[in-house]
């Protein structure tokens, strides 16, 4: 599912226009990003938690040349699925 399909489904399920659904989705993603930039976490009970993790500087290898390169430390976004969300996914179509 892509963003346009998600917006269409949100609009259909909630009885609002696609424009309103897009605005709601943009607001949600914007709020998550702005809170993560501040170093906060965003927890949606039953869904999961968005947070920021520090990744240490390290050495890597250029796959084409094999040369060693330095990779700078940086902050990366992280998502941890909530228990309810994980349970629902695990029980669907289990092989």
Please report, for the domain that includes residue 59, its CATH number. Answer: 4.10.520.10
Cβ neighbourhood burial of 7 (10 Å; 0-12, 13-18, 19+):
buried
32 and 52 co-located in one domain: no
Looking at the 3D structure of the chain, how many domains does it have? 2
Domain that holds residue 25: 1-38
91 within a domain of the structure (yes/no): no
Instruction: Indicate if 10 and 45 belong to the same structural domain.
Output: no
DSSP state of 28: H
Q: Please, which pLDDT band fits residue 92 given cuts at 50, 70 and 90? A: low
The 10s digit of each residue's pLDDT in 14-71 is 999 999 999 999 999 999 999 999 999 999 999 999 999 999 999 999 999 999 999 9
Q: Does residue 94 lie within any of the structural domains?
A: no
User: Residue range 64-82: average pLDDT?
Assistant: 95
Quote the pLDDT of residue 89. 87
CA angle 79, 83, 88 (to 5 degrees): 100
């Amino acid at each position: 599912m892509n963003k346009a399909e998600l917006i269409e489904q949100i609009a259909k399920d909630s009885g609002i226009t696609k424009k309103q659904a897009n605005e709601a989705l943009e607001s949600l993603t914007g709020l998550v990003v702005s809170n993560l930039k501040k170093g906060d976490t965003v927890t949606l009970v039953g869904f999961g938690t968005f947070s920021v993790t520090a990744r240490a500087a390290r050495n890597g290898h250029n796959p084409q040349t094999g040369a060693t390169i330095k990779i700078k430390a940086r902050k990366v976004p992280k998502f941890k699925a909530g228990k309810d969300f994980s349970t629902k996914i695990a029980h669907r179509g289990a092989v």
